[in-house]
Amino acid sequence: MQIIKKFNPLEDEMIQVMNEKGEIINPELMPDVSDEDILSLYKLMRRTRAMDTIALSLQRQGRMLTYAPNMGQEAAQVGSAYALKKTDWAVPAFRELGMWLMKGWSMEKILQYWYGNEWGSHTGEDLRLLPVSVPIASQFQHAVGIGMAARFKKEDDIIMAYVGDGGTSQGDFHEALNFAAVYKTPNVFVIQNNHYAISVPISKQTASKNLAVKALAYGMPGILVDGNDLFAMIAVSQQAADYAREHGPVLIEAFTFRLGAHTTSDDPTKYRTDEDVNPWKEKDPILRLERYLLNKGLLKEEEIEPMQEELEAEVMEAYRAIEHSSDTKVEEIFSYHYETMTPQLQEQLDEYQAFLKGAESNV
């Protein structure tokens, strides 16, 4: 079925393939994914959860720096990234752990980044993945620039960029969508609507009935999808990717929920209650897919715990490989902003080095 043409965000209709019991309720929308791939994606979502949980624990122990949890958003990330070819670009914000793993960024490198060593951002020459972008929505501008270059070079690649619901209030978001639509760039924009931009609920971000509808003002399709439904995310993302390659940009709103804190610097109990969170625990994307696999006989209950233990061991092995890696040198803060250091940065570096010499002479 042509999802892009059939569904209208003005009607506030959300695409769903699988319900919370793991039952296929819209078989006509079911993507063509083999049982083997579904099991592999389930394991990847569990790896994402294991890594997320352990990273959070390590940060609380003082063994990692500030961390942005992903719990509850695994299907939105893994399902969208499943639609990407190796040569396609992915442009993240800072909460796309499942996408990073799906795209091929190693656990060691991801953990190295959150450990505070910028070499974690060195993903390799053949991985078309931009680094973590903390400034809100600025990465959409970068994604459109890559899209314009792809069109200019006549490359058959798309650029999938991610942002949170709060990012839709930034000017960068709207400027990027406008440029993409005008120049018909091969961009797929994914909004992970997890209901909160730090402490600000979605009701304070927009008066629109949903976020997907914002696409229409710029002349591109907008699709609202159940972001906790892996199959719905795959179906929508695959069709959006095909559309972007041939016609131009698409906006996807993945309707999901952040079960944890915004970052480890955040206390979500100050702005939401258990009554807000508990209903979403039953909508957990991993639990939903697990029920599907159990119902289909593709997974057995007794296989789940050993799998989880194996994945947790993998994460800890990856962390131990980087735990005692050298810290980033202060000089590197100045060296890697530009290909050639600007006069202002050189002046600041000289000042810093003079300070060090003065400190050494006083010892």
Show which residues are catalytic: 258, 262, 271
Measured between its terminal Cα atoms, the distance across the chain in Å is: 74
**195: phi > 0 → left, psi -120 to 50 → alpha, else beta; which?**
left
Residue 125 to residue 352: CA distance in whole angstroms: 32
Smallest CA-to-CA distance from 295 within 21, 27, 17, 46 is with 21
86 CB contacts (<8 Å, ≥6 apart)?
128
- Within a 13 Å sphere around the CA of 257, how many CA atoms are in the beta-carbon half? 15
For residues 205 and 172, is the Cβ–Cβ distance under 8 A? no
131-135 — which CB contacts under 8 Å span 24+ positions? 132/92, 132/93, 132/94, 133/91, 133/92, 133/93, 133/94, 134/93, 134/94
Phi, psi of 122, deg, nearest 5: -85, 90
Task: Say whether 273 sits in a helix, a strand or coil.
Answer: coil
Q: For residue 254, what are the CA distances in angstroms to 111, 161, 163, 235?
A: 26, 13, 10, 12
Kindly give the pairing relationship between strand 200-201 and strand 196-197. Answer: antiparallel
CB 290 within 8 A of CB 49: no
Taking the CA atoms of residue 277, residue 283, residue 140 and residue 266 in that order, the dihedral angle to the nearest 10 degrees is: 20
Residue by residue, DSSP assigns 299-312 as S-HHHHHHHHHHHH
